[in-house]
Amino acid sequence: MFKKVLIANRGEIAVRVIRTLRELGVPSVAVYSEADRSSLHVRLADEAVCIGPAMAKESYLVIQAIIAAAKVTGADAIHPGYGFLSENADFSAACRDNGIAFIGPSPKSIQQLGHKAEARKMAVKAGVPVTPGTKDCVSVKEAAAQAAKIGFPIMIKAAAGGGGKGIRIVREAAQLANEMNMASSEAKAAFGNGEVYFEKYIELPRHIEVQFARDTHGNVIAFPERDCSIQRRHQKLVEETPSPAVDKKLRAKLEKAAVDLAEAANYVGVGTVEFLLTQTGEFYFMEVNTRLQVEHPVTECVTGFDLVREQLLAASGEKLTYTGGNTVPLQGHSIEHRINAEDFSRNFAPSVGRIEEWLLPGGPGIRVDTHVYAGYNLPVYYDSMLAKLIVWAPTREMAVERSRRALAEFKVKGVKTTIDAHQLIVDSQDFKAGKTDTGFMERLLAPAEPAAAK
């Protein structure tokens, strides 16, 4: 195992990694921007180094500053968390070139799978079903012809990155040029790469993903699927495992596809394969996230695995905890609610300020991952997520009821949050029945139709 690990991230994911390192007896190093001096990850780490001003492009996205911090503190490994540089092949290569272990896949694997268009090619070679779309990235000059070949509606997607950035749905040719320019510009700003490709847009699918882990000894595990269909503007709000729409037969197919892709890419570490599941039960490969996911705790809850620990084991050349096959059994049901600093009553407008009150729910089956505490001043420069509320119960019905109870206990004053939105979700009859898809939130938030005149 490593002697000292630097976490090249902030907020709750940095706190999450620090806790596993502490259990393993490995010292941790936090990096922070000037805006994050009072963040919990800085207070919990064994050491902390300021790497620049508040803006991420001047701190958390500066590879040289992070490498320098690792060298100064003697860290022999870097955990990238998620977001920022976590899927950046240049960062992985910089760690390697400086004799520092990158707790994630190799630069080659990130290039192959982190680039969405290249990942589609690999999926085809591995025999994994893919949605109809372009084989390569698309230029403005060839856009019209490629779109016509696929057939509208199409989805324009950023070739690099994720998190819903650089995605546009186009339903007719007249919209194509403008939407493509917008998608490319957004992708360039978010990931430094404006390349895009096209996919056939699948109407109202479920968003299903399979977590996997693979070590250097040939061991690979596919974990039970997560259902991430409840989204707003391509941003996930609620995730659960297992999916209400997946039976044992379909689960086996999804897990096999994830294992096949991991093997084909010679992937080392933890990753996630994302699929679209149609209303009629067919699934299509969408992309691979070459990092830990925000929603990894629900997988941990139903399997008992510590996925950060598995990342550390794989990256240090050790065997995964479980080497008894490609799949693991699941127990019970888990749901994660992303609690953001947004005003639900004002169309999810950003909310910033000082956290005056912070009372967390507790009791059986309740976990809260957060970097927030009472008195914390929320920076305006980063993601709006305050906490992840994760519940576990023996059955889905019990997990839904436990979510309702926990959300009612969660009290925050000083900023507006999305807790009310999550209460609305768990109170929905469609959610209770497991009838969700990517259009769920749009339907839930649609204005009620006026009553017919008598």
d(CA 394, CA 373): 30
3-state class of 274 per DSSP? strand
- CA distance readout (Å), 288 to 159, 323, 372, 437: 11, 23, 30, 20
Beta strands in 351-395 (DSSP E): 357-359, 366-370, 385-393
Instruction: Give φ, ψ of 128 to 5 degrees.
Output: -90, 130
**In contact, 73 and 235? CB cutoff 8 Å:** no
Reading the block at residue 228, the tokens are 């991430």
**Element holding 392 (H helix, E strand):** strand 385-393
Which residue type is seen at 277? Answer: L
Catalytically annotated residues:
291
d(CA 441, CA 454): 31
Which residue type is seen at 421? Answer: A
Instruction: Give φ, ψ of 75 to 5 degrees.
Output: -70, 135
Per DSSP, what are the bridge partners of residue 50?
32
Which residue type is seen at 324? Answer: G
d(CA 227, CA 377): 33
- DSSP for 198-231? EEEPPSS-EEEEEEEEE-TTS-EEEPPPEEEEEE
Helices 296-303 + 307-315 axis angle, to 10: 100
**In contact, 30 and 18? CB cutoff 8 Å:** yes
d(CA 181, CA 140): 8
Q: Tell me the Ramachandran region of residue 422: left when phi exceeds 0, alpha when psi lies from -120 to 50, beta otherwise.
A: alpha
Q: Is it true that the peptide bond before 329 is cis, omega within 30 degrees of 0?
A: no
The closest of 337, 338, 340 to 403, measured between CA atoms, is 337
The closest of 434, 448, 447, 437 to 231, measured between CA atoms, is 437
**In contact, 275 and 208? CB cutoff 8 Å:** yes
**In contact, 26 and 49? CB cutoff 8 Å:** no
